[in-house]
Amino acid sequence: MTEKAGMTIGAFMAEKQVKVGLAGFGTVGCGVAKLILEEADSIAAKTGLRLELACVVDIDIESDRPVKLPDGILTNDINRLLNDDTIQIGVELIGGTGTAKEVQLKMLRAGKDVVTANKALLAVHGNELYEAAHKNNRCIAFEGSCAGGIPIVSAIRTGLTANNITAMYGIVNGTCNYILSEMTSKDEDFSEALAQAQNKGYAEADPALDISGGDSAHKLAILASIAFGYEIALSDIFVEGIESISKNDIRYGGEMGYTLKLLAIGQKDKEGRVSLRIHPSFIAKDSPLARVSGPFNAVSIFGNAVGQVMYYGRGAGMMPTASAVVADIVDVAIGNSATTFRHLHLKPRSEVESLIENIDNCVSRFYIRVLAKDQPGVVASYGKTLGDHQISISGALQHEGSGPDNTVPVVITTHPTQQKNVTAALGELAELDVLSGKPVCIRIVDIPEDNN
C-alpha cells in the first residue's frame, strides 16, 4: 500500500484504490461509513486516494441505522474482513477492551493497518497493541480516540515535535463540560444538568464513565504519552469526577473570579517529573479554556518554543469523530501514519515510573468551603487548623446572614501548597465542633499566561 517516493507527480497521479473494512457499526461507525460513501469523490480529488468500504462487521445486522450501506457489505462475520487480503485498513470502532482488543490484534496479524477511536482500549492496552503493530510491521492510527474532531494527536506528534512540551490542560469530556456549563449558566443542580445532558444526547443512559472522570483519564493517558514521550499507565493518573459538585460552589467560585471545569492536566517539570490528573478545577474566568462551553472540547498545550497553543472543537459525536477516523484512514493510506508510528518513541514504563508524581506531592492552590456554625471562635479554630498545616490563605468569602441549621458557608482560597497538607487539614476540619459536615475542597488551577 505504501508507494515508493517519487513514482508519481502531483496532479497527474492516477487514483489509488484503498479498501477499508469496518468493525463496529454503532454511532461513530455509521458516521465513518457515511463519510466514506459521501465524500469519496471529494477525498479522491484532494488526495488521489479512492476509499472503498469493502465490508462492515457488527453482531447486529438487523437494526436500522442512519446510513444506507451498499448491498452485501454488512456482515456479522469478522473473518470476512480478516481474510480479505484486498482490505488494507481495518477500522475498529467496537469499543471496550475485550472483543475490540482481540479484533485489533487479529487485524494486525492479518497484515492490516488499524485505525481506531477506542480510547479505553489504548489507555489500558496501548503499549501491548503498539508492540504488536511494530512486530507485524503495521501501524495503529488513533486520532479519533482523543477530542473527536480536533486533530490534537497529529498536532502533538508532528506540528509540535520541535518543542519540549511542558504542560497540557484539556477539557476533553463534552458530557462533563455540558453539565458544568449548564450548572454555571443556569444555576442548576448536578442532577438537573445531567438529566438535561441525557435529554440532549450529550450523556449516555449510564453516564458513569464520563462523570467519574474515567473517560477523561483514558484520553489524558494517550495524549500525555505522546506529548511527554513516556509509556503511561492508567493508574498513573489521579482521577476525581464531577458527581459531587454543588451549584453553590460553582456560584461562590464565580464570585471569586473562577469558572469550574473538569480538566485533564499533564505537567512536566525540568527534571522530567510528570503530574497527571483529572479533577474539577477552578480556572480564571478570563482564561481561554474558561470560555469553552457546552459540549465543546479544547486542549491548551505549552511548548518551550511555541508558547501556548490551543485547539478547540467538538470533542465527540458521530460526524466529528468520524472526521478524525477518516482523516486517519487517508493518512494510513498515503503511508504517513506508518512513518509517524515507526518514529514514535515512548520511554518504557520501567524507566519513567519513578518520574510520575504522586498526587500527595502535587502543589496546587485550593478552594475550601466549610459550613461554620454561627457562634464565636469559628474563624480562629478554622484558621488555626490551616495554619498548623502550613496552608496560607489567599482569599476569603463569607456572605452576611446564616443559612439552614444556623450555619454559614465560609469559603477560603489558599496560596500554593502540597496536596498532602490540605488532605491532612481537611481531615481535622471535618472533626471541628464549630464546623458542620465535611468541608468541600476544589483545586484552583492557575494556567500559566503566555504574555511576554
Give the C-alpha separation, 313 to 321, whole Å: 11
By C-beta, is 246 or 336 nearer to its own copies? 336
DSSP class per residue in 286-314: TSGGGG--TTEEEEEEEETTTEEEEEEEE
Binding mask 230-269 toward its own copies (x if CB under 8 A, else -) reads ----------------------------------------
Report the chain's C-alpha Rg in angstroms: 25
Only segment of 69-77, 85-93, 212-220, 331-339 that touches its own copies (CB under 8 A): 331-339
Handedness of CA 314, 108, 113, 32 (dihedral sign): negative
By C-beta, is 4 or 206 nearer to its own copies? 4
Given 134, 273, 349, 365, the residue binding its own copies (CB under 8 A): 134
By C-beta, is 71 or 286 nearer to its own copies? 286
By C-beta, is 344 or 393 nearer to its own copies? 344
By C-beta, is 46 or 109 nearer to its own copies? 46
Given 81, 176, 193, 330, the residue binding its own copies (CB under 8 A): 330
Tell me the closest approach of the beta carbon of residue 200 to its own copies, in angstroms: 10
Binding to its own copies (CB under 8 A) within 265-324 occurs at: 288, 291, 294, 303-314, 319-320, 322-324
111 is a contact residue toward its own copies (CB under 8 A): no
Q: Verify whether residue 19 is a known catalytic residue.
A: no
Tell me the closest approach of the beta carbon of residue 311 to its own copies, in angstroms: 6
432 is a contact residue toward its own copies (CB under 8 A): no
Residue of 106, 112, 219, 247 marked active site: 219
Specify the DSSP element, H or E, that contains 194: helix 190-199
Name 376's Cβ contacts closer than 8 Å, sequence gap at least 6.
none
Other Cβ atoms less than 10 A from the Cβ of 11: the count is: 6
436 is a contact residue toward its own copies (CB under 8 A): no
128 is a contact residue toward its own copies (CB under 8 A): no
- If binding means CB under 8 A, how many residues of this protein chain bind its own copies? 80
> Is 341 within 8 Å of 141 (Cβ atoms)?
yes
37 is a contact residue toward its own copies (CB under 8 A): no
Binding to its own copies (CB under 8 A) within 156-185 occurs at: 158-164
DSSP class per residue in 132-181: HHHHTT--EE-GGGSSTTS-HHHIIIIITTTS-EEEEEEE--HHHHHHHH
Give the C-alpha separation, 368 to 349, whole Å: 35
DSSP state of 327: H
Given 21, 29, 31, 213, the residue binding its own copies (CB under 8 A): 31
Give the C-alpha separation, 137 to 132, whole Å: 8
Q: What are the C-alpha distances in Å from 55 to residues 84, 89, 216, 236, 415?
A: 10, 11, 31, 38, 58
Other Cβ atoms less than 10 A from the Cβ of 65: the count is: 18
Q: What are the C-alpha distances in Å from 124 to residues 121, 129, 221?
A: 5, 10, 9
Binding to its own copies (CB under 8 A) within 206-235 occurs at: 229
20 is a contact residue toward its own copies (CB under 8 A): no
Name 340's Cβ contacts closer than 8 Å, sequence gap at least 6.
139, 154, 157, 158, 331
Tell me the closest approach of the beta carbon of residue 404 to its own copies, in angstroms: 36
By C-beta, is 55 or 160 nearer to its own copies? 160
By C-beta, is 130 or 252 nearer to its own copies? 130
As a 3-state breakdown, the chain gives helix, strand, coil percent values, each rounded to 5, of 40, 25, 35
Binding to its own copies (CB under 8 A) within 333-392 occurs at: 334-336, 338-340, 342-348
Given 151, 214, 241, 439, the residue binding its own copies (CB under 8 A): 151
Tell me the closest approach of the beta carbon of residue 253 to its own copies, in angstroms: 20
Alpha helices in 52-165 (DSSP H): 78-82, 99-109, 119-135, 152-154
Give the C-alpha separation, 346 to 262, whole Å: 27
Only segment of 117-125, 147-155, 361-369, 406-414 that touches its own copies (CB under 8 A): 147-155
Give the C-alpha separation, 416 to 255, whole Å: 20
Binding to its own copies (CB under 8 A) within 395-424 occurs at: none
Binding to its own copies (CB under 8 A) within 42-61 occurs at: 42-43, 45-49
Tell me the closest approach of the beta carbon of residue 115 to its own copies, in angstroms: 12
Which sequence positions are flagged as catalytic? 219
